Chain A
Amino acid sequence: MPELKTETMTLNMGPQHPSTHGVFRLQLKVDGETIKEAIPVMGYLHRGSEKLAERFLYSQFIPYTDRLDYLNAMTNNYVYCAAIEELLEWEVPERAEYLRVITMELNRIASHLVWWGTYLLDIGAMSPFLYAFRDRETILDRLNEISGARMTFNYHRIGGVKWDAPDGWIEKVQETVKELYENIQEFDTLVTGNEVFRARTIGVGKLSKDQVINWGLSGPIARGSGIPIDLRKTEPYSIYDRFDFDIPTQEDGDVFARYKVRIEEMFQSLRIIEQACAQIPEGDIITKKGKRLMMIKPPAGEVYKRAEASKGEIGVYAISNGKNKPYRIKLRRPSFVNVSILQHMLVGESIQNLVAIFGSLDVVLGEVDA
């Protein structure tokens, strides 16, 4: 029998493919459904955020951080403000720190819920998406009430936060937390044990500890591979050292491990919000100097500030030359770093696993392309 003639096919996936979550593009060389080579193409959403920062006042760059990881804008706001505060050596009022923590953690849950819903959508289950968005909506309502926006909050300020919590907001948040406990528990029982879901995720897209460290991966991906790194715990910023919470880790390093880490993280975030709501003091929400936006002029110097975003370690490296505009801002975007391993994970996998693996990295394109 003569040898069957086969050839590899080039498949262009994206930038308008339903499961690339935005404008990511992959050039795949496939043999049947097996991927031989995957070349990621990025930059469709590039806006030059870092360069733009150089022509704005310090405070004017905050809205741009919203648009990096638009699902987790609060932490982006925070890390930029905190970096500049460190340059300025300002103290932030207690109440502001608490409001920051509450909003950041609420936003982390919202971000994980979006991930949870869209991930299951990727692997073919449609209903979880709608349930996740229902609960995300309550969170966005709370964040809307305090910041006036649903996604691009522009809420944190250098030296504090923009608005104080409206009357009764803390109580509303406490109620939301109670609801979320029940609902996320329900999601967990409904989906985590599902046989089809487990068959799709367990053992797929394995990442070893070495790979995670060598590629500088962070966030739930690192914790899913058994590396207990969470900046809230290992390098406490803001007031995270005052709260009692755990860092969930899983040893397996597969897609399912990352899934479980994220589910567990939502519960931990709820714990933090509960404690923060109970402890929050009265007082100022922004330092006096912080209100005079034109006058924010850090002394010459440089700083690197990092925080734990829902996707991993987000960092801001800022250089000041003593003027009221930054000399240089460099952003470490976790999605960008995390997606770098994708092309190596995909070799030898099928197209169906591609979707499962890419989804599990939880990439937001606004952050990849900045």
Chain B
Amino acid sequence: MDYLLMFLYAVAVLMVLLGGVTFAILAERKVIGAMQLRPGPNRHGPWGVFQTIADVLKLLLKEDVIPANADKKIFVLAPVLAFAPAFSVMAVLVYSSTVGGADINIGVIYFLGVSSITMLGVLMGGWSSNNKYALFGSIRGVAQMVSYELPLILSIIGVIIMVGSLNLTDIVNYQANMGMWFIVPQFLGFAVYMISSIAELNRSPFDLPEAESELVAGFFTEYSGFRFAMFMLAEYTYAIAIAGLATTLFLGGWLGPAFLPEIVWFMLKVVAVMFIWFWLTATLPRARVDQLMNFGWKVLIPVALLNIVLTSIYKVWMG
């Protein structure tokens, strides 16, 4: 019975997620389009709502091409390996005080640990394609994700010190008791989290692994059809997961005035975080690899460490 429930929950999350990703892609195109003086997709259905569905259908109907010199097994495995961890982390997210996945006491660590596996998919995809641009893309991608994983984790530690628990429900409840969201007392942590999450997701201005003007399409240059769709799905799933974590940790999760249901507040906050990413995509040029590394190691990590020190002092002071 338990297993059946688990299975049903997973299917439900997957369905919601697929819908979410579909509309995240549409929203991104619409938002960026509006910022760029163009309407964005508007052919399929009212306001272009079926555009992504049509795109996915097209991708599914395409021939499944595996390059002749590719390492076939790894090539096939890579998109799965990129998607699976991005989806697995959804298991610990809590969407409201009643709706949530596994209520485990190491929620944050599980999230960060599992999400790191995504970069294996990136590396394998780039390596097995036997394409030089893809290789460059994956090397850049992995270097970047490894470097930015650290500030991302460090930025969260402040919150964990304050709460004294790794459980995501506890973190939200603490914010409810405190009467404010962590974005205020942990602003440094929030800033570092937002910046490193952009790098973690390979979004502009840190979209080096898929820099179109340099590397054609980065690590998934050789991918087409549904494997390509899988990579896109992984990317947006991961984006939603990271936005969900940001919401839980810094924006008070499902907390909000009672006129809307808790789960709606959670979703609104996720949308707001994603909107910031879309906005940046439309605004900024791309950073350079060395600048990216410098910024990560010499600015973000020290700032995150400073945040930990300040939080610790506060915690000891206040008892």
Stretch among A37-45, A52-60, A331-339, A346-354 lining the B interface: A346-354
Stretch among B70-78, B99-107, B245-253, B284-292 lining the A interface: B284-292
Chain A residues contacting B288 (CB-CB under 8 Å) are 199-200, 350, 352-353
Report whether B205 and A196 are in contact in the complex, using a CB–CB cutoff of 8 Å: yes
Report whether A11 and B132 are in contact in the complex, using a CB–CB cutoff of 8 Å: yes
**How far is A163 from B210 in the complex, measured between Cα atoms in Å?**
48
Task: Assess A18 versus B212: contact at CB under 8 Å? Given A124-B205, A194-B285, A353-B288.
Answer: yes
Query: For window 180-225 of chain B, which residues contact chain A by CB distance below 8 Å?
Result: 204-205, 207-208, 211-216
Number of A-B contacts (CB under 8 A): 76
Query: For window 90-120 of chain A, which residues contact chain B by CB distance below 8 Å?
Result: 120
Task: Assess A18 versus B213: contact at CB under 8 Å? Given A124-B204, A196-B205, A351-B136.
Answer: yes
Contact of A125 among B133, B136, B286 (CB under 8 A): B286
Report whether B37 and A124 are in contact in the complex, using a CB–CB cutoff of 8 Å: no
Report whether A121 and B213 are in contact in the complex, using a CB–CB cutoff of 8 Å: yes
Report whether A130 and B37 are in contact in the complex, using a CB–CB cutoff of 8 Å: yes
Min distance, Cβ B215 to any Cβ of chain A, angstroms: 8
Interface of B is mostly: helix
Task: Assess A352 versus B283: contact at CB under 8 Å? Given A33-B136, A126-B36, A131-B37.
Answer: no
Query: For window 281-318 of chain B, which residues contact chain A by CB distance below 8 Å?
Result: 281-291
B32-47 to A contact mask, C-beta < 8 Å, 1/0: 1001111000000000
Report whether B289 and A123 are in contact in the complex, using a CB–CB cutoff of 8 Å: no
Report whether B38 and A124 are in contact in the complex, using a CB–CB cutoff of 8 Å: no
Q: Closest A residue to B33 by CB, please name it.
A: A130
Task: Assess A351 versus B214: contact at CB under 8 Å? Given A126-B36, A130-B37.
Answer: yes
A355: CB under 8 A from chain B? yes
Q: Closest A residue to B211 by CB, please name it.
A: A124
A9: CB under 8 A from chain B? yes
Chain B residues contacting A122 (CB-CB under 8 Å) are 213
Chain A residues contacting B290 (CB-CB under 8 Å) are 350
**How far is A196 from B286 in the complex, measured between Cα atoms in Å?**
7
Min distance, Cβ A19 to any Cβ of chain B, angstroms: 4
Report whether B36 and A199 are in contact in the complex, using a CB–CB cutoff of 8 Å: no
Query: For window 269-288 of chain B, which residues contact chain A by CB distance below 8 Å?
Result: 281-288
Q: Closest A residue to B208 by CB, please name it.
A: A352
Report whether A127 and B216 are in contact in the complex, using a CB–CB cutoff of 8 Å: no
**How far is A131 from B283 in the complex, measured between Cα atoms in Å?**
12
**How far is A11 from B132 in the complex, measured between Cα atoms in Å?**
7
Q: Closest B residue to A120 by CB, please name it.
A: B285
Q: Closest A residue to B133 by CB, please name it.
A: A11
Report whether B213 and A19 are in contact in the complex, using a CB–CB cutoff of 8 Å: yes
Query: For window 160-180 of chain B, which residues contact chain A by CB distance below 8 Å?
Result: none
A291: CB under 8 A from chain B? no
Report whether A33 and B285 are in contact in the complex, using a CB–CB cutoff of 8 Å: no
Q: Closest A residue to B35 by CB, please name it.
A: A127
Q: With A124-B286, A125-B284, A126-B32 given, name 11 new contacts (CB 8 A).
A: A11-B132, A19-B213, A123-B213, A125-B285, A127-B32, A127-B283, A196-B285, A199-B291, A353-B288, A354-B214, A355-B214
User: Can you list 20 contacts pairing A with B, beta carbon distance less than 8 Å?
Assistant: A11-B133, A18-B213, A121-B213, A124-B207, A124-B211, A124-B285, A125-B286, A126-B32, A127-B282, A130-B36, A131-B36, A194-B284, A196-B285, A199-B288, A200-B288, A200-B291, A352-B214, A352-B289, A353-B288, A355-B213
